[in-house]
Amino acid sequence: MKRSQHQLAKVYVSRRVPQEGVNLLQDSGICEVTQWDFDETVPRSELLKQVAGAHGLFCLLTEKIDKELLDAAGPNLKVISTMSVGHDHLSLDEIKKRGIRVGYTPDVLTAATAELTVALLLATSRRLMEAVEEVKNGGWSAWKPLWLCGFGLQESTVGIVGLGRIGLAIAERLKPFGVKRFLYTGRQPRPEPAAKVQAEYVPLNTLASQSDFIILSCSFTPDTQGMCNKDFFAKMKKTAILINSSRGAVVNQEDLYQALTTGQIAAAGMDVTVPEPLPTNHPLLSLKNCVVLPHIGSATYATRNAMSVLAANNLLAGLKGEPMPSELKM
Ligand code: NDP
Ligand code: DGY
């Protein structure tokens, strides 16, 4: 139902996002939209100023939604809609205390993120970045039997940390490469998704020691923070490869650097780091056996459009007091 002008809900959109989502908000007739219409992150002071009195907030994973922000927003704030599936940037205790509803964007980004994770795995295991560099810098002299060899997926064991939506989608995409065994770990066995790829539930330590490729696709929580540390790397095979498309802080990067430089593990591919962006002089960027991407898991045009639309629809449903297409259960 349309509200009259003076009843319009105040909505703040914290970034330039695919226009489809913004159009939905603007055409809804129930809200007036203010937007930080730039590609770069909104300065914190501006965000705190703009959320004051807002009824709805459309945000990204770059905005920390904590007590300070919620206090700055004040009691009008009824709904937060994040254009992400990850929600570790939201202080859920504080949000719940205030009775604020949260929308997020699962499923629509699963395929794109799984695809990128496979691309990163192949780029890392078959040393694509090094190979391209050699072509450009004249290092390519002849076809050499021992040059730029890597590790293949055929007959390998792949360990997945977090067989959730994205973890399963990664396994499904890797299966046709001839993977012999899938192992997975999590807080409890997940028989239904596991059956789709014949994955075996094992403790983290077993996954670490038996896998040729380890893929991190878990959510970031206090339990997963720093999960991949020196003890974890010590258990990995020297020929094993670590791929992270979850959140940077699941990996202890100092320990990873040690593991990569001492030959404890073969290579790593990271779509996520701490911090983001990773400073250009960061030690990991000096390593040939470490491929770092700038958090592009969900970066296809169609996926980002779908995320923007879903986030807008979540926000509108929240403002109307209706069920959201994707509401986070708290
Ligand atoms: P899901 O909720 O479907 O999956 C999360 C998985 O994490 C579950 O399988 C869960 O398993 C597992 N998990 C939680 N706690 C632990 C733990 N202590 N140890 C091991 N596993 C654990 O989410 P999605 O698959 O949709 O997304 C996963 C994450 O991927 C997001 O939270 C986000 O951080 C990241 N992501 C990154 C993107 C990128 O651009 N690189 C894009 C999209 C998402 P269980 O419940 O059985 O413990
Ligand atoms: C998410 O949605 O959590 C990703 O990290 C970005 O798409």
Confidence check on the interface: ipTM exceeds 0.90, yes or no: yes
Question: What percentage of the chain exceeds 90 in pLDDT?
Answer: 98
DSSP per-residue letters across 237-280: -TT-EEEE-S-GGGB-HHHHHHHHHTTSSSEEEES--SSSSPPT
Q: Which ligand is nearest to the CA of 219?
A: 1
State the DSSP code for 155. Answer: T
Determine whether 55 is an active site residue: no
List residues near ligand 1 (CB under 6 A): 85-86, 106, 109-110, 113, 161-167, 185-188, 190, 217-221, 223-224, 245-247, 271-272, 295, 297-298
Q: Could you tell me if 207 and 184 are in contact, meaning their C-beta atoms sit under 8 angstroms apart?
A: yes
d(CA 63, CA 45): 12
pLDDT confidence of residue 183: 99
Catalytic: which of 6, 55, 87, 295?
Answer: 295
Share of the chain above pLDDT 70, in %: 98
Burial class (CB in 10 A: 0-12, 13-18, 19+), 81: buried
At 230-274, the pLDDT tens digits run 999 999 999 999 999 999 999 999 999 999 999 999 999 999 999
Q: How far is the CA of 328 from the centre of ligand 1 (A)?
A: 14
What are the pocket residues of ligand 2 if the criterion is a CB atom closer than 6 Å to any ligand atom?
61, 84-86, 109, 297-298
pLDDT interval class at 7 (50, 70, 90): confident
Task: Give the integer Cα–Cα distance in Å for 304 and 311.
Answer: 10
How far is the centre of ligand 1, averaged over its atoms, from the C-alpha of 219 (Å)? 3
Give the C-alpha separation, 92 to 256, whole Å: 30
Q: Distance, CA 143 to ligand 1 centroid (Å)?
A: 42
